[in-house]
Amino acid sequence: MTVQITGTMLLQLVVSGLLAGGLYALVALGLSLIFGVMRVINVAHGTLLMLGAYTTYWLFALLGMNPFLSLVVSIPVLFVIGVVLQKLFVHRVVHAPELSSLLLTFGISIFIANAAMLAWSADYRSVEFLTGSFLLGPIALSKPRLVSFVVALAVTGLAFLFLHRTKTGKAIRATSQHRDVAQVCGINVRRIDLITFGLGAGLAGAGGSLVSVMFAVYPEMGQIYVFKSFLVIVLGGAGNYPGALLGGLLLGLVEQLSSLYLTTQVSEAIAYLLLVVVLLIRPTGLLGGRT
């Protein structure tokens, strides 16, 4: 199969890749925050994203709420769920070996995903809100993706503002830089853990709301995002928050460009290959990170 690759096609793919990447960056930032502060990889991150997507779906289906507006609900809802999970379970394994936190969050994720299956069935659902595309010369910009991208960037920007300008945000960054020293400086790290997990979950929820506008909503939709978010973190460098943005955009680009030669499904395998290659040649990430 040979396809004539034109400049327009390439440009189109670059644009689509960047649009997808903004969302990856948003979701990965949540995972990265939690990992930075607690050294816990939250395997349930994708499941939290799924809950965000269902929040938007139900608000849209039952109340006719604008999906992009529904972030105002899904972020707080997921924040609360995150705080509850942290309070009940995750805080017990923050200092335990990695095996415990990985398995614990894996168990939580299986539990929630299958409970969702029981409650809402495995049916694929969709939020048909914005359809069609804007035409910009020869480039087509899918409306839902463009708006999602803008919203994702806005939420990511707000999160950065929070981390850099507020006292709590600074405390979160301090804790992730050095937990013990942060504690000595009078930061209540247990409280920071709670807020961070809530925030991470909230960002996953925001990601879910945005995903629901573009793709099908079903209980197992989140699985792939844990992996992709982690890949974004590895690309950007662990603990390097701006790196997450770069990593997200890069992943989106790689996925789209690989679809030139392969089917879109195989782009998942390409993302995987990317992870293995980056771990082989530059395990600290492209921008370099804190180990």
Residues that bind other proteins (CB under 8 A): 35, 41, 43, 89, 92-93, 97-100, 102-104, 106-115, 117-118, 223-224, 226-227, 230, 234, 262-263, 265-266, 268-269, 271-272, 275-277, 279-280, 283
Residues forming beta bridges with residue 142, ordered by sequence position = 133
Looking at beta carbons only, is 75 or 90 nearer to other proteins? 90
Closer of 2 and 263 to other proteins (Cβ): 263
Q: How far, in Å, CA of 195 to CA of 90, rounded? A: 13
30 φ/ψ angles, rounded to the nearest 5 degrees: -60, -45
Taking the least distance from each CB to other proteins, the nearer of 42 and 209 is 42
- Is residue 154 within 8 Å of 210, Cβ to Cβ? no
Q: Smallest Cα–Cα separation from 254: which of 28, 46, 20, 26?
A: 20
Instruction: Give the residue from 202, 201, 179, 146 showing the smallest Cα distance to 23.
Output: 146
CB of 259 to other proteins, least distance (A): 13
Helix 7-38 and helix 223-236, axial crossing angle in degrees, nearest 10: 90
Angle made by CA atoms 108, 89, 231, in degrees to the nearest 5: 55
Nearer to other proteins, 106 or 162 (CB): 106
Q: Which is nearer to other proteins, 103 or 161 (CB)?
A: 103
First and final C-alpha spacing in the chain = 44
Q: How far is the CB of 200 from other proteins (least distance, A)?
A: 15
